[in-house]
């Protein structure tokens, strides 16, 4: 049951969750250089303010009955055309409040970290304005009470992502990466916008409550079309195949951007969209199957890419792609996996933000070098960074007791219960994850030091290490969300009752198999990397598989072949038609009129005697005609 929030205490202040960071962004952007001395403090304070309000809202929601935890706040009527009315509505429920806490909590830690990381950047105030803008847009997206407000936040997130990826626009690579992310996401946004149009045409409303109530009456083909279009939108934002190519290039932005947008929040928007739209996929089994297929392909795709990269941030980006694939897999499994998808989304937000910020700390200590072949033996020089990064590493590979062990393994269990092949693919992904993450740890923190003579590694300041410590703690303790099946029970009113399927073998046996596969991945990395010296220059005599992984499995080449080149040829053909046929016809008429005017212009020479001759000639002709008529 959805309750209006007109006078519901803390819930009537839900709009402040968005307004605080939005106001921060406006002040910092409009205030100009006058806000430079304190802009970073204001940006951080607004994020912390939203987090505090979100925390208070969460506890207030917990104090309500389980079936009374959906509170709708109507701010104003946004669109009112004929019979179509859309309100600027915010929905606070069990799903949205978890995202609010993740966005504002992790976002606040990243703001604090950025105070130190961006200390010497002359445009730091603008950077914090963009961070605030992103937080506001992402909160709009997850708090929206209807699909049109979701789209508003969706596009706001895209704008903020473009600004942050290309923040160092003086670098051609950063400008190109921002443009690439923007264009690829627009492809996904076409799917999102078409889905919203089809939802309105089908149901006459775009509100979640209205669509959910009427979903059973729609045809399966219509629901399938909506589900597939929503999936296209999700693929763009969450960097899933076939719209994944932008994510690795997006590492050109400052490292806090990678932690905030491309690890903890923005790339999870697609998972949120699929989960929120569970009432659509319930009646669209084909679309639900498509979600699973995309997820399985992506989780393996990203894992393979992570195995061959030497850029520490790109290894983590490939890992993000893969882990989002696990979340999408959980969402694609329907009621059996929705809660686990959100569970892994939250734990991943902790440990991946931890590792991205840890990578930034390593770069800070090595003159912004991102090549792991230039690292080695950094565990002694960066003890805090190493310790916190290790917590994230153990969490992502699924070491027993750490957060990823609980969240990712639950998705693998649900996958095996649904289909053996899907389960095996998810299991293989876990082993490959253990390999490339162990490779990263060995090349960065262990072995012989390989940095240049002018590099003097040193630990980051406390303003950067304290957020690392907090995120490391949550990387360890995040699994407690599953204690007593809490997160499953919490999300049940939104995503439906979990369907339990029989596993092909006991849970403890499957858990031991997953742990064994992870251990195998670690062992292979140790045997191939840990026991051998790491050359400072990547070898060129490598297998075809390594070359493919280094080239992102030819994702850009595939896009160029299937989309870019045909698109250019189509545009060239249309341009030729426009120039030759359409412009030719128009310009031909203009030339004809111009030629006729040129001839007629000769008659208008400005000489009075010429005009007198014409008058005389005309009068003579007229007299002759009149005489001829009278003679008849």
Q: Is the pLDDT of residue 618 over 60?
A: yes
Query: Strands 84-92 and 70-81, how do they pair?
Result: antiparallel
Proportion of the chain above pLDDT 90, given as a percent: 79
Q: Is 264 or 396 the better-scoring residue by pLDDT?
A: 396
Q: Is the pLDDT of residue 328 over 70?
A: yes
Span of 305-309, 532-536, 555-559 with lowest mean pLDDT: 555-559
DSSP summary character for residue 497: P
pLDDT interval class at 561 (50, 70, 90): confident
Q: CA nearest 117: which of 432, 462, 553, 384?
A: 462
| 513-525: average pLDDT | 98
DSSP summary character for residue 456: -
pLDDT in tens, 115-168: 999 999 999 999 999 999 999 999 999 999 999 999 999 999 999 999 999 999
DSSP summary character for residue 535: P
388, 440 in Cβ contact below 8 A? no
Q: CA nearest 538: which of 364, 386, 339, 311?
A: 311
Give the pLDDT confidence score for residue 632 in this predicted structure.
64
Torsion, Cα 319 321 324 330, to 10 degrees, reads -100
Rounded to an integer, what distance in angstroms lies between the CA atom of residue 213 and that of residue 318? 39
Give the pLDDT confidence score for residue 1 in this predicted structure.
61
| 51-66: average pLDDT | 95
Block residue for tokens 């957060």: 403
E strand residue ranges, 128-234 = none
**Alpha-carbon distance values, 625 to 29, 611, 614 (Å):** 82, 21, 16
| 34-41: average pLDDT | 96
Phi, psi of 75 (to 5 degrees): -85, -50
Proportion of the chain above pLDDT 70, given as a percent: 98
341, 328 in Cβ contact below 8 A? yes
Q: Is the pLDDT of residue 222 over 80?
A: yes
351, 435 in Cβ contact below 8 A? no
- If one counts every other C-beta atom within 10 angstroms of the C-beta of residue 579, the result is 11
SS3 190: helix
Span of 30-39, 217-226, 432-441, 581-590 with lowest mean pLDDT: 581-590
Give the pLDDT confidence score for residue 178 in this predicted structure.
95
Bond prior to 548 in cis (omega within 30° of 0): no
Rounded to an integer, what distance in angstroms lies between the CA atom of residue 249 and that of residue 243? 13
Residue 72: strand pairing partners = 4, 91
Block residue for tokens 């990578």: 359
Rounded to an integer, what distance in angstroms lies between the CA atom of residue 413 and that of residue 482? 14
Q: Is the pLDDT of residue 8 over 70?
A: no
Confidence (pTM): 0.91
Q: Is the pLDDT of residue 7 over 60?
A: no
């Amino acid at each position: 049951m959805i309750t209006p929030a007109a006078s519901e205490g803390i819930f009537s202040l839900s709009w402040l969750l968005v307004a605080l960071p939005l106001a921060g962004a406006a002040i910092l952007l409009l205030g100009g250089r006058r806000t430079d001395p304190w802009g970073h403090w204001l940006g951080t304070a607004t994020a912390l303010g939203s987090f505090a309000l979100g925390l208070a809202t969460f506890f207030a929601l917990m104090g309500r009955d389980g079936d009374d935890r959906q509170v709708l706040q109507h701010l104003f009527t946004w669109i009112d055309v004929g019979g179509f009315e859309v309100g600027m509505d915010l929905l606070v429920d069990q799903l949205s409040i978890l995202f609010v806490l993740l966005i504002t909590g992790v976002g606040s830690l990243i703001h604090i970290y950025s105070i130190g990381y961006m200390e010497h950047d002359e445009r730091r105030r603008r950077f914090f304005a963009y961070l605030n803008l992103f937080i506001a847009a992402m909160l709009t997206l997850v708090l929206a009470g209807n699909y049109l407000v979701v789209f508003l936040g969706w596009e706001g997130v895209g704008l903020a992502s473009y600004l942050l990826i290309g923040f160092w626009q003086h670098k051609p690579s950063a400008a190109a990466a921002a443009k690439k992310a923007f264009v690829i996401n627009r492809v996904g946004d076409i799917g999102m916008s078409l889905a919203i149009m089809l939802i309105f045409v089908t149901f006459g409303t775009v509100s979640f409550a209205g669509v959910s109530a009427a979903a059973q009456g729609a045809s399966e083909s219509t629901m399938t079309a909506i589900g597939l279009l929503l999936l296209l939108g999700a693929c763009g934002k969450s960097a899933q195949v076939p719209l994944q190519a932008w994510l690795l290039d997006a590492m050109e932005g400052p490292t806090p951007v990678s932690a905030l947008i491309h690890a903890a929040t923005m790339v999870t928007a697609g998972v949120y969209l699929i989960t929120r739209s569970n009432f659509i996929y319930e009646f669209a089994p084909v679309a639900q199957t498509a979600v699973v297929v995309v997820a399985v392909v992506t989780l393996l795709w990203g894992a393979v890419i992570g195995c061959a990269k030497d850029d520490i941030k790109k290894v983590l980006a490939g890992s993000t792609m893969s882990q989002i694939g696990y979340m999408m897999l959980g969402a694609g499994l329907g009621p059996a996996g929705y809660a686990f998808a959100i569970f892994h989304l939250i734990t991943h937000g902790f440990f991946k933000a931890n590792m991205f910020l840890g990578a930034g700390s390593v770069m800070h200590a090595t003159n912004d070098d991102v090549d792991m072949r230039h690292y080695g033996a950094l565990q002694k020089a960066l003890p805090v960074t190493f310790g916190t990064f290790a917590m994230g590493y153990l969490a992502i590979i699924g070491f027993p007791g750490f957060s990823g062990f609980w969240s990712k393994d639950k998705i693998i269990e649900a996958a095996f219960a649904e289909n053996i092949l899907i389960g095996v693919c998810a299991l293989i992904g876990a082993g490959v994850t253990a390999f490339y993450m162990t490779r990263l740890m060995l090349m960065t923190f262990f072995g012989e030091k390989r940095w240049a003579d002018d590099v003097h590694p040193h630990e980051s300041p406390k303003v950067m290490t304290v957020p690392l410590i907090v995120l490391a703690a949550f990387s360890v303790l995040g699994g407690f969300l599953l204690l007593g099946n809490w997160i499953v029970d919490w999300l049940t009113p939104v995503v439906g009752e979990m369907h339990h399927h029989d596993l092909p073998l006991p849970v403890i046996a499957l858990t031991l198999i997953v742990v064994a596969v992870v251990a195998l991945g670690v062992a292979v990395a140790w045997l191939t990397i840990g026991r051998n010296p790491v050359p400072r220059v990547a070898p060129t005599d490598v297998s075809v598989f390594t070359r493919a992984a280094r080239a992102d499995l030819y994702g850009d080449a595939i896009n160029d072949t299937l989309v870019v080149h045909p698109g250019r040829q189509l545009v060239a053909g249309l341009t030729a038609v426009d120039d030759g046929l359409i412009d030719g016809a128009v310009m031909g008429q203009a030339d004809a009129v111009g030629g006729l005017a040129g001839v007629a212009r000769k008659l208008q020479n400005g000489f009075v005697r010429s005009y007198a001759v014409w008058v005389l000639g005309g009068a003579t002709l007229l007299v002759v005609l009149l005489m001829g008529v009278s003679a008849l």
